[in-house]
Chain A
Amino acid sequence: MSKEEKDELLNRLRNAEGKLDAPVLPEEILYLATKPERKFAIRKLQSPKLVLNLLGGAAILALVFIVSTSPRDTQITDLSFSKMAPLYDSTMPLEPEITFQLTEEDLITPRTVTLNEYGQKLSGGLVNSFEADIWSGQTEPFAVIVIADGLYLPREITMDNLKQLFGAEKIAQVSNDVSTDESVQAIKLLIQTDSGVIHPLVIPQSDGDGYYKDVLATLIAQSYQKIEF
């Protein structure tokens, strides 16, 4: 007896689905996947969007460079982690013990630091291997925002910095979403790259309440400030 037959409710749901019109995928997709440079040439080089993306990326890079190199006081923050419980992924290190310093240059990073290195550093080594692998090779500039019971910005970065990077309207949109969303029960480190790809590190409260509180008490309290609206 199948699991659907055992469960009348889910069987009814399954039967409610209409005819699914899924295209037949050619096996060539698999061969092309093993040669991404060929796929890029075939699928993307002909697209005018590429030119726009490159121009946009260059513009944001220039902006990040200006922001990150402008003279200002750079505050150093010590951040310690010790004996944290593993998160929801068995591939995480069990007892990361990392002491590090964050500077504003870390928060809006140059290309010399990969997203993986930075994410590991920021989270005290508690990035799961799947995420870390996705982050590997990402060297575009990025900034980090933490969302827990509200919106937190690193102490070293100001709202003005953020507005310069992303625009006041977008920040207002995020702020509004965060402050009105009652479902925010997890810490989320949002890392925005200049190509617009989002790399979230999500720590669900329900999956690790102790760890959630630990991170709130350390990373949030020591390195971030809650933004009031």
Chain B
Amino acid sequence: MDEQQFVAVFRNHLQDISRYLARRVEKDRVEDLASDIFEIAWKKRSQCPSGFELPWLYRIAGYVLANDRRKAKNRFPHLPLLDHDQAAASAEDIALDGSEVAIAFRQLSDSDRQILTLYTFEDLSVSELAIALGVSANTASQKLKRARQRLADKLSEILSENT
């Protein structure tokens, strides 16, 4: 893939990456981080699975984001900072309203929020989730199912408390 092909393939995903980042970092960090993501994408372009360019970009974005958050904290990394879950939209980052489902979402774990965000807001399919998360399609499906169930359970708890 030469420069022209690279630009042609990824041009359509610029705004997808912008939205992905805007859900997770301050607006003024979006362009810098996007620049890092596409630089890695260029270096690793030979590994990009054809037809799955966007979830592949999201996977790179997850690593870039995790490193950026770790640097921001400026301290020795510990467990919660070590895996891909750090790419999840945090409860503080994602702009949700005050509805019960939003409250339930905020109470989920990082990994549940991550997969639900990729599926719901980034609009990935299950096979694309698998690429973005670096797992098999079956595992992605199971993770999504469990995350959705936990969201439903949380929502039920909240609704029953309210009533």
Contacts and interface: CB of A to CB of B under 8 A. Distances in A.
A22 B30 contact: yes
A190 interface: yes
Interface in B128-150: 134-136, 139, 148
A89 B31 CA distance: 31
Contacts of A134: 40, 44, 63
B152 to A, nearest CB: 6
Interface size range of chain A in the complex? 35 or more
Interface string B1-42: 001001100110011011101110001001110110011111
Contact of A30 (B10, B32, B59, B119): B10
B44 to A, nearest CB: 6
A186 B149 CA distance: 23
A22 B21 CA distance: 8
A186 B83 CA distance: 10
Nearest to A30: B7
Interface size range of chain B in the complex? 35 or more
Interface string A128-141: 11100110000000
Given A14-B120, A133-B44, A133-B47, A24 B32 contact: no
A4 B120 contact: yes
B121 A17 contact: yes
A21 B21 CA distance: 10
A209 B78 CA distance: 23
Interface string A12-42: 1110111111111101011111101001000
Contacts, number: 161
B71 A196 contact: yes
A14 B121 contact: yes
A186 B39 CA distance: 31
A198 B82 contact: yes
A76 interface: no
Nearest to B135: A88
A197 B67 contact: yes
Given A13-B101, A25-B34, A20 B95 contact: yes
Contacts of B161: none
A167 B66 CA distance: 23
Contact of B11 (A9, A20, A30, A174): A30
A202 interface: yes
A24 to B, nearest CB: 7
Nearest to B7: A30
Contacts of A186: 83
Interface stretch (A61-69, A95-103, A109-117, A176-184): A176-184
A30 B14 contact: yes
A19 B94 CA distance: 10
Interface of A: 3-4, 7, 9-10, 12-14, 16-25, 27, 29-34, 36, 39, 43, 88-90, 128-130, 133-134, 147, 166-167, 170-171, 173-174, 177-178, 181, 183-184, 186, 188, 190, 196-198, 200, 202, 207
Given A34-B3, A34-B42, 12 more contacts: A16-B97, A17-B97, A20-B23, A23-B31, A24-B15, A29-B34, A36-B42, A174-B77, A186-B83, A197-B67, A198-B67, A198-B81
